[in-house]
Structure 1
Amino acid sequence: MSETNTFTLLKLARWREAALKDALGWLPRLLMGPALRRTLYRQLFRKMGDGVFIDTDVEILNAAAIEIGDKVCVRAGVRLDARNPGNRLVLKSKAFLERGVMIMAMRQTTIEVGEGTLVGPYSVLAGPGHLTIGNNCLIAAHAGIFANNHRFADPELTIREQGVSREGIVIEDDCWLGHAVSVLDGVTIGRGSVIGAGAVVTQDIPPYSVAVGVPARVIRRRDGLSVTPQSRLVEQGMPDTLKQALRRAEQALEHLQKLRHEVSAVLLQVVFAELLHRLFEEIRTALDVDTVTLLLPRSSSRDLFVYNTIGLEEEIEQQVRIPLGQGVAGQIAADIQPLIVENLAQVEVASPVLRNRGVQSLLGVPLHLEKQMVGVFHVGSFQRRHFTGEDTCTVESVAERIGPLIRIAQYSS
């Protein structure tokens, strides 16, 4: 079908929508008005569930691209704009759009509002990047969630001529965005996070974080982990691939936690070990190291065992044990401080595997959970390497994200 014919069909559909909207405008909010309005709207929407309430004075553009779940509520003054080809707008069951909310899909865009999510009065959700808001989120009044940014790198061209980005935005389940929060293109806000009123979110926010300010900065964690200025800065500079890998691991952890009482500890341990193994592969690539290792304390004695590793698998096969205070990992656990070893040949090691595998340099940090040391995390290089303070902050930031995973490891082991 030609572009001209497509445009003509869209215009006809728009005229039909406008005529029906005008016909619905006089229907009262009470008595038979809502029921009659639902009956007539079913002729327009791509999908419409049961128990939907659509108030008067709601503007709908390209209803054929809009899907509405059960018991959705759309208050007066809302605008649902799915014009242009390839758009898709989804309001899942029990979503609630307050007065004056504006949702604009732009072009080739999918916007989803999750189940049980409330979008407050006069908030704006806009493409052209894809935009996903998870389940049971609270978006306060006058929020602006814009999956686009104007490009302006070339001063010889007008900003309008340089177009916009469309990286997309993801707001995961159970988030609360305060009054007048702005979320910019390319951002993911992790599950369970709280964004303070007036904040401008320009970088990813880890799960269960509390973030405030312009630009938004994480000031504390809801899961008991500490947040330092160094870790906040480093997290912003993390490679995107590493942030995405950590986020996937945290999402997988949530599913594992739901299974804790349904499967055996042995099976849980196997699944968790595989999850960590995949994460460690991503960490090894992102940090350009040769080994990545996690050691946990044994409850029956004062030593550490290797729970998972990439590059030092012999330590697991040989059941290597590291006494507290001995070797590199033992010293980190005893002092509860990061440690850099630039030349491993010059220090005492408790594990012969380190030298047998040819590890030359090593950087390790303690793992903390709710202010307690719960393990040691270290990375190593087969070449002499000068690990810097910035490297230490990066590894500490990774360790902070791994810390909550240790709950499952301790349970299953």
Structure 2
Amino acid sequence: MADPVLGDGVQVGEGVEFGSGVVVHAGTVIGDGCVIEDNAVLGKVPKLARTSAAAGREPPPPLVLGERVTVCAGAVVFAGARIGDRAILGDQSYVRERTVIGEDTVCGRGTAVDNDVAIGARCRIQTMVYVTAFSVIEDDVFVGPCAMTTNDDTMSRHGPEYELRGATLRRACRIGGGAVLTPGVEVGEEGFVAAGALVTRDVPPRGVVLGVPARVIRDVPEDDLLERWR
């Protein structure tokens, strides 16, 4: 097995386990009891296009992993991210700078979480989900496999004054597999988006939506609310 490569000033807590081929960039903080699996890369500094709105910013602060975080094989976690206690980042997942992931949240295999995203506690972000920049995901949200959020109505044909708008997913809402959320959409608390839906308008709290474009068909029933399943 190849020993981990640790950059300058890396802080490693007690009982941390490293797989083979791990690279940890300078300044990264790894909490007690973390498991870093084979070929993971921690604390990578972003390489930005010259035209990026963030190109002139100061370099991000070091990556911080809480206690008992698991970073699975081949995952890449950038400098400036903060990962909460007991979170799991699946194989080949990808977490960008200035993103916060809450405690006990799981990001599945191949999930991509862009920069400037806030994800709460106990979320389940399934395989191959894309969470676009400037999105907010509150606690206890479920996002099904291959779901996608977007943040640019112009598809990059805009001036510097244009504001990118990610999705907002309120507490305990659920997003079905393969759903697409257009820029700035908000899904209300306990909302339910069916698989394959194209969400172009806000979803009300407890609203059930489906279709292309998605439309409200009913409310989430009382016996399906999160409190019934804890």
TM-score, length of structure 2 as denominator length: 0.68
- C-alpha contact (below 8 Å) 2:81/2:96 kept by paired residues: no
Question: Among 114, 119, 142, which residue is 2:125 paired with?
Answer: 119
> Structure 1 residues 47 and 188, CA, compared in 2 at 3 Å: closer, same or farther?
same
> Structure 1 residues 178 and 161, CA, compared in 2 at 3 Å: closer, same or farther?
closer
Match of 2:25 in 1: none
Question: Tell me, what secondary structure is at the counterpart of 1:51?
Answer: coil
Match of 1:26 in 2: 21
In the TM superposition, what are the counterparts of 1:78-227 in structure 2 within 5 Å?
78-82=93-97, 88-105=98-115, 110-127=116-133, 130-150=134-154, 160-162=156-158, 165-222=163-220
Bigger Rg, which one: 1
Q: C-alpha distance in 2, partners of 1:172/1:101?
A: 20
The alignment-based identity, stated in percent, is 21
Match of 2:71 in 1: 54
Q: What per-residue deviation string (whole Å, max 9, x for no partner) do you get for residues 25-74 of structure 1?
A: 436xxxxxx85639xx9x8454321111111101223x2x1011111001
Question: Tell me, what secondary structure is at the counterpart of 2:36?
Answer: helix
> Structure 1 residues 47 and 196, CA, compared in 2 at 3 Å: closer, same or farther?
same
- C-alpha contact (below 8 Å) 1:150/1:165 kept by paired residues: no
Match of 2:82 in 1: 67
Q: What per-residue deviation string (whole Å, max 9, x for no partner) do you get for residues 90-147 of structure 1?
A: 0000110000001122xxxx201110001110111112xx210111111110000122
- C-alpha contact (below 8 Å) 2:35/2:68 kept by paired residues: no
Match of 1:406 in 2: none
- C-alpha contact (below 8 Å) 2:188/2:205 kept by paired residues: yes
TM-score, length of structure 1 as denominator length: 0.39
Question: Tell me, what secondary structure is at the counterpart of 1:211?
Answer: strand
Deviation at 1:175, TM superposition (A): 0.8
- C-alpha contact (below 8 Å) 2:109/2:126 kept by paired residues: yes
- C-alpha contact (below 8 Å) 2:34/2:68 kept by paired residues: no
Deviation at 1:16, TM superposition (A): 5.3
- C-alpha contact (below 8 Å) 1:179/1:197 kept by paired residues: yes
Structure 1 unaligned regions, length at least 5: 1-14, 18-22, 28-33, 83-87, 152-159, 225-413
Deviation at 1:80, TM superposition (A): 1.3
- C-alpha contact (below 8 Å) 2:111/2:128 kept by paired residues: yes
Runs of 4+ in 1 over 6 A off after TM superposition: none
More strand by share: 2
In the TM superposition, what are the counterparts of 1:10-409 in structure 2 within 5 Å?
25-26=20-21, 35=34, 37=36, 44=43, 45-61=62-78, 63=79, 65-82=80-97, 88-105=98-115, 110-127=116-133, 130-150=134-154, 160-162=156-158, 165-222=163-220
Deviation at 1:190, TM superposition (A): 0.3
> Structure 1 residues 144 and 25, CA, compared in 2 at 3 Å: closer, same or farther?
farther
Question: Tell me, what secondary structure is at the counterpart of 1:162?
Answer: coil
> Structure 1 residues 67 and 161, CA, compared in 2 at 3 Å: closer, same or farther?
same
Counterpart residue type for residue 36 of structure 2: R
Q: What per-residue deviation string (whole Å, max 9, x for no partner) do you get for residues 129-183 of structure 1?
A: x2101111111100001222226xxxxxxxx443565133210011111110111
- C-alpha contact (below 8 Å) 1:25/1:56 kept by paired residues: no
Q: How many residue pairs get matched?
A: 175
